């Protein structure tokens, strides 16, 4: 069973280690557990190795759902206008059912982050919105952390050429593969041990923040003067985490963040993005927004403003925060100096916030909280969850208690 042509620019052994890591550390897939896997068709060499390791781990049945960028483009180039309000709800409802039956979920990222950059932003925005609404049954179970899930990356050819526009395609793909392998720690001798150590470091940070139980965080830096209230009973998480089905997984590979749930009604001030955001095949850059009582009341962007405005109009919760995450400017991904145009990487190179749905796991006793209780404690609900980067080497962060007393958390982008 050959997974890669001999002349492929991607190291087959490291790719296999990434697949094994995704199954063992990313998912900790259990004997008898089914696996639902989404991936670009181009990522088949990785998907095949994931299937091998999943079955070796005792998987029930592995079901890949493969996508193709040219089919997505065929829609923009040929479809009637009405098409852009449609989405395959039946597929996402099916995924929700699979999760209810304890299937694990693995997503392989690797699409061209700017696939739709040349398309009509109104159509792109509407199609993203229709898809986000239809995706509800799957997203709900993922954000509630019902079951073990994981995202890993495939060094897609088009993506590689966005990250390394000056390199020939094969060299670009090789460099992106190496960056993915390094960030995912599969270039180390014992990736599983490396992840244990890394998880312990992230745990130390979240333990420290949980002991402080801040009422709010205050971010200051160029263009940013933002107070992010934290949800009542919020809990900081990072790295390995235990899903409601009792399985401890690492949802993101790579990950460098600790994160928690902001209070949907206690965010005030202005914030400016520090890296471009690739969302649904479009680039949004130079975001500046103002929050009042947790809600975005002004928003603009230097690029992709129409897609941004469509995004925050998805539903009521799309204008409020569902996540705040801390990542030091010295994180390995940040130190690579690369801009990946992919949230899985860029969010792990900078402090970030996410618009939309919160993770109910980020509450003390979160496993037991229903949606009403999450909302009562300040957790946001939405059909979207979109992270964007607000951290840099110039950001200071203070923790505030209920009386407004300040504790330094970050100085110049590093843990204080």
Where do contacts with Zn ion occur on this chain (CB under 5 A)? 257, 259, 323, 325, 347, 354, 387
Task: Decide: is 52 part of the binding site for a copy of itself (CB under 8 A).
Answer: yes
Provide the β-strand partners of residue 67.
40
Tally Cβ neighbours within 10 Å of residue 341: 18
Contact 344, 337 (CB under 8 A): no
Classify residue 111 by burial, with Cβ atoms within 10 Å: 0-12, 13-18, 19+. Answer: buried
Smallest Cα–Cα separation from 257: which of 189, 343, 141, 352? 352
Task: Decide: is 209 part of the binding site for a copy of itself (CB under 8 A).
Answer: no
CA distances from 320 to 105, 296, 315, 326, 390 (A): 27, 7, 10, 18, 15
Prior bond of 224 cis (ω within 30°): no
**Which listed range, 79-87, 185-193, 226-234, 295-303, lies at the site for a copy of itself (CB under 8 A)?**
79-87
Euclidean distance between CA atoms 142 and 151, whole angstroms:
12
Task: Decide: is 98 part of the binding site for a copy of itself (CB under 8 A).
Answer: yes
Task: Decide: is 368 part of the binding site for a copy of itself (CB under 8 A).
Answer: no
Q: Which is nearer to a copy of itself, 139 or 234 (CB)?
A: 139
Task: Decide: is 56 part of the binding site for a copy of itself (CB under 8 A).
Answer: yes
The site partner of 387 among a copy of itself, Zn ion, none (C-beta below 5 to 8 Å per kind) is Zn ion
Contact 15, 9 (CB under 8 A): no
Q: Which is nearer to Zn ion, 62 or 258 (CB)?
A: 258
Q: What is the phi/psi pair of residue 289, to 5°?
A: -135, 155
Q: Which is nearer to a copy of itself, 84 or 236 (CB)?
A: 84
Task: Decide: is 87 part of the binding site for a copy of itself (CB under 8 A).
Answer: yes
Q: Total number of residues binding a copy of itself (CB under 8 A)?
A: 48
Task: Decide: is 8 part of the binding site for a copy of itself (CB under 8 A).
Answer: no
Binding interface with a copy of itself (CB under 8 A) = 1, 3, 31-32, 34, 36, 41, 44, 47-48, 51-52, 55-56, 58-68, 70-71, 73-75, 77-80, 82-83, 86-88, 90-91, 93-95, 97-98, 101, 103
């Amino acid at each position: 069973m050959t997974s890669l042509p001999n002349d492929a620019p991607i190291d087959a052994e490291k790719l296999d280690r990434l697949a094994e890591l995704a199954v063992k550390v990313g998912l900790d897939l259990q004997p008898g557990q089914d696996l639902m896997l989404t991936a670009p068709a181009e990522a088949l060499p990785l998907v095949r190795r994931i299937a091998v390791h999943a079955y070796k781990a005792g998987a029930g049945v592995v079901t890949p759902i493969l996508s193709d960028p040219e089919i997505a483009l065929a829609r923009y180039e040929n479809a009637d206008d009405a098409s852009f309000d449609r989405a395959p709800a039946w597929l996402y409802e099916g995924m929700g059912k699979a999760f209810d039956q304890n299937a694990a979920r693995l997503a392989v990222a690797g699409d061209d982050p700017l696939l739709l950059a040349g398309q009509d932003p109104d159509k792109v925005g509407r199609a993203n919105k229709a898809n986000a609404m239809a995706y509800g049954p799957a997203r709900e179970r993922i954000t509630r952390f019902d079951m073990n899930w994981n995202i890993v990356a495939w060094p897609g050819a088009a993506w590689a050429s966005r990250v390394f526009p000056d390199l020939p395609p094969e060299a670009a793909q090789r460099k992106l593969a190496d960056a993915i392998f390094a960030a995912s720690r599969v270039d180390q001798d014992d990736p599983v041990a490396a992840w244990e150590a890394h998880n312990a470091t992230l745990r130390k940070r979240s333990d420290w923040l949980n002991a402080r139980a801040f009422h709010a965080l205050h971010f200051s830096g160029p263009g940013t003067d933002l107070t992010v209230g934290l949800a009542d009973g919020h809990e900081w998480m990072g790295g390995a985490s235990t899903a409601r089905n009792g399985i401890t997984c690492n949802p993101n590979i790579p990950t460098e963040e600790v994160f928690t749930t902001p209070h949907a009604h206690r965010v005030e001030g202005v914030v400016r993005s520090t890296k471009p955001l690739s969302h649904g095949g479009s680039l949004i850059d130079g975001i500046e927004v103002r929050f009042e009582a947790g809600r975005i009341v002004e928003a603009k962007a230097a690029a992709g403003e129409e897609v941004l405005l469509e995004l925050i109009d998805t539903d009521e919760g799309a204008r409020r925060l569902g996540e705040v995450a801390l990542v030091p400017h010295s994180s390995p991904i940040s130190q690579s100096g690369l801009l990946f145009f992919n949230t899985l990487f860029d969010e792990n190179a900078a402090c970030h916030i996410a618009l939309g749905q919160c993770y109910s796991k980020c509450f003390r006793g979160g496993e037991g909280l229903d949606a009403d209780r999450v909302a009562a404690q300040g957790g946001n609900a939405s059909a979207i969850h979109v992270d964007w980067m607000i951290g840099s080497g110039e950001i200071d962060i203070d923790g505030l208690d209920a009386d407004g007393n300040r504790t330094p958390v970050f100085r110049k982008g590093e843990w204080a």
